[in-house]
């Protein structure tokens, strides 16, 4: 049984999972016809608010013929007094898969450890793998080839950046990130990404200067400076002076730049209206692709038989 706690858990199958996600999107008859999750139930636990993750999982599971249950932590015993381990074992008796959005990454690790069905991290303070899958799918849709592509991150060294750099490393895409001093990404995750990049040839570069990261970049990505669970760190905002993605900064990028954001955006803070509403902004493609990417991941993790059939089709 496999889990998806960070994007590198998908290993060598990642590219194939993305190609299958694009197939799901391009031929939207496939999932309704084949119904790979027919008769299956997936529980989706949320400790934090969500719009995209919640709706994309519910609709995507439904399109695959499965049944989804949204479990808000304030409504189930997990949020009151029951342990993560007991919750994992109980839910495993009813469900075929569990998605979990939590604060501490250690919690989704513990849930996966005790569950006997696949667990998908739906965002923790350290990783957001489903976002990275949708992001790489979106990059693939907007570029003829991944070779020679440069992705630039400007902002906080956070959960979204962690899986983005891992995903870029896995697919051989160059990733440069500009973060303020003191807001660098987790060093263990960076080391993991560097190990993968050494195999694929991806270039991973950290800087404290947004212009450096953005120069000649094809895809420019930012996210909230203050993530969920960090609201008490509002003073953090002051450190991000000069890290806003605006048209002036984008003058340094490739002229066909595409703007990316996982959303929700704090307009006027990490990005200006004119950038996020620009015709070269692809943020709503990213949001839509959450569903297609997760449908492919769910098929891969929960229904290996269908996956093997699809894999054979894709090899042809």
Alpha helices (runs of H) in 210-253, residue ranges in sequence order: 210-214, 247-250
Q: Taking CB within 5 to 8 Å according to partner kind, which of ligand CP, ligand NVA, none is near residue 272?
A: none
Q: Which of residues 181-240 bind ligand CP (CB under 6 A)?
A: none
Binds 224: which of ligand NVA, ligand CP, none (CB < 5-8 Å by kind): ligand NVA
Q: How many CA atoms lie less than 13 Å away from 194 in the CB half-sphere?
A: 9
**Is the Cβ of residue 99 or residue 159 nearer to ligand NVA in the bound state?**
159
Provide, rounded to whole angstroms, the least separation between the CB of residue 124 and ligand NVA: 8
Q: Which stretch binds ligand CP (CB under 6 A): 18-26, 48-56, 110-118, 271-279?
A: 48-56
Can 223 be counted among the known catalytic residues? yes
Tokens 């849930």 — which residue? 111
Task: Give the active site residue among 44, 102, 130, 262.
Answer: 262
Instruction: Choose the catalytic residue: 54, 63, 101, 127.
Output: 101
CB of 50: closest distance to ligand CP in angstroms?
3
- Give catalytic status of residue 102 as yes or no: no
Q: Of residues 11, 27, 32, 51, which one binds ligand CP by CB under 6 A?
A: 51
131, 244, 286, 294: the active-site residue: 131
CB 146 within 8 A of CB 203: no
How far apart CA 198 and CA 196 sit, in angstroms, is 5
* Residue selected from 15, 30, 211, 263 as contacting ligand CP according to rule CB under 6 A: 263
Q: Is position 216 annotated as part of the catalytic site?
A: no
61 part of the interface to ligand CP, by CB under 6 A: no
Q: Render 153-197 in DSSP notation, one character per residue.
A: EES---HHHHHHHHHHHHHT-EEEEE--TT-PPPHHHHHHHHHHH
Q: Side by side, which strands form the sheet with 67-72?
A: 67-72, 41-46, 97-101, 119-121
Contact flag: residue 162 with ligand CP (CB under 6 A): no
* Whether the bond into 71 is cis, omega within 30 of 0: no
| 123 or 167: CB nearest ligand CP | 123
233: tokens are 């760190």
**C-beta of residue 45 within 8 angstroms of C-beta of residue 100:** yes
Distance separating alpha carbons of residues 2 and 89, to the nearest angstrom: 16
* Choice between 21 and 196, CB closer to ligand CP: 21
Please choose, out of 12-20, 44-52, 175-183, 304-312, the segment that lies near ligand CP by the rule CB under 6 A.
Answer: 44-52
H helices of the chain, where?
14-26, 30-34, 52-63, 84-94, 105-114, 129-141, 159-171, 187-200, 210-214, 247-250, 273-276, 283-302, 304-315
> Closest CB to ligand CP among 165 and 262?
262
In this structure, are residues 133 and 15 in contact, taking their beta carbons and an 8 Å threshold?
A: no
Which residue is closest to ligand CP by CB? Answer: 53
Q: Which two tokens stand for residue 286?
A: 């990213």
Residue 131 makes contact with ligand CP by CB under 6 A: yes
168 vs 224 by CB, closer to ligand NVA: 224
Active site residue 262: yes
In this complex, which beta carbon is closest to ligand NVA, that of residue 3 or of residue 158?
158
Catalytically active residues, by annotation? 101, 128, 131, 223, 262, 290
Q: Which stretches of the chain bind ligand CP, using CB under 6 A?
A: 50-53, 123, 131, 262-264
């Amino acid at each position: 049984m496999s889990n998806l706690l960070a994007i590198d858990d998908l290993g060598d199958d990642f590219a194939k999972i993305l190609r299958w996600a694009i197939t799901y999107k391009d031929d939207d008859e496939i999932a309704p016809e084949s119904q790979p999750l027919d008769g299956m139930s997936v529980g989706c636990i949320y400790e934090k608010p969500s719009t995209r993750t919640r709706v994309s999982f519910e609709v995507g599971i439904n399109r695959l013929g499965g049944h989804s249950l949204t479990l808000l932590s304030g409504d189930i015993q997990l949020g009151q007094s029951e342990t993560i381990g007991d919750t994992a074992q109980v839910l495993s008796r009813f469900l075929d898969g569990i998605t979990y959005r939590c604060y501490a990454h250690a919690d989704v690790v513990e849930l996966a450890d005790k569950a006997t069905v696949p667990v998908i991290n739906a965002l923790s303070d350290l990783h957001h793998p489903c976002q990275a899958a949708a992001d790489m799918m979106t990059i693939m849709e907007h570029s003829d080839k991944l070779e020679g592509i440069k992705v630039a991150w400007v902002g906080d060294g956070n959960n979204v950046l962690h899986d983005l750099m891992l995903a870029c490393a896995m697919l051989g895409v160059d990733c440069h990130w500009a973060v303020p001093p003191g807001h660098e990404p987790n060093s263990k995750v960076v080391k993991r990404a560097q190990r993968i990049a050494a195999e694929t040839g991806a270039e991973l570069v950290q800087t404290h200067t947004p212009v450096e990261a953005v120069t000649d970049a094809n895809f420019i990505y930012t996210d909230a400076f203050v993530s969920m669970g960090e609201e008490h760190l509002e003073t953090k905002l002051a450190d991000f002076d000069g890290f806003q993605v605006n048209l002036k900064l984008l003058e340094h990028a490739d002229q066909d730049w595409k703007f990316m954001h996982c959303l929700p955006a704090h307009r006027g803070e990490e990005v200006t209206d004119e950038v996020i509403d620009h015709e070269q902004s692809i943020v709503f493609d990213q949001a839509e692709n959450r569903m297609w990417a997760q449908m492919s991941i769910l098929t891969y993790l929960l229904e290996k038989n269908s996956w093997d059939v699809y894999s054979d089709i894709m090899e042809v």
